[in-house]
Amino acid sequence: MIKVSRLADYAVVVLVAFTRSDDALLSAAALADKTKLPEPTVAKVLKLLAKDNIVKSIRGAGGGYSLDKPIGNISIAEIVKAVDGPIAVTSCVDGATGSCDYEGCCAVKGRWNPVNVALHSALENVTLADMTS
């Protein structure tokens, strides 16, 4: 079963929570409260999203996270990439991290590329806005 991690699922929940709040700046604790998700989990997700600039973070007392792009501009592809790492359908696709044991003798080396491209563009064309409607 092809699937995204649970954390990616949480990421969507958290991001959607932003759109349902009047405050632009929300702390991890506040978001945990809103989403009813465990606070450490929410904190972890937000750190990952911040690293890829999907949310903006402000450190220090009174800090928190904010969403400064419109949600129609945030694709599922970038959320998944931020949380689960690069989208690579097999280990022998272009840009995959590890490499494959059979590379030397393999009959389908690189053949998954078209699949990977298809997958990637499918995920790029779904935005957060599509998931809240």
Residues that bind a second copy (CB under 8 A): 1-4, 6, 8-9, 12-13, 16-17, 20, 35-37, 76, 80, 84-92, 96-97, 102, 105-108, 111-112, 114-115, 118-119, 121-123, 125-126, 130-132
- Choose between 2 and 61: whose C-beta lies nearer to a second copy: 2
Binding positions for ligand FES, 13-52, rule CB under 6 A:
none
Q: Of these, 61, 68, 108, 133, which contacts ligand FES (CB under 6 A)?
A: 108
- Choose between 62 and 104: whose C-beta lies nearer to DNA: 62
| Interaction between residue 47 and DNA (CB under 7 A) | yes
Q: Is 81 left (phi over 0), alpha (psi -120 to 50) or beta?
A: alpha
- Choose between 1 and 133: whose C-beta lies nearer to DNA: 1
Structure tokens at 90: 């097999």
| Torsional sign, CA 39, 54, 67, 75 | negative
Name the binder of 103 from ligand FES, a second copy, DNA, none, CB < 5-8 A by kind: ligand FES
What residue ranges bind ligand FES (CB under 6 A)? 9, 92, 100, 102-103, 106, 108-109
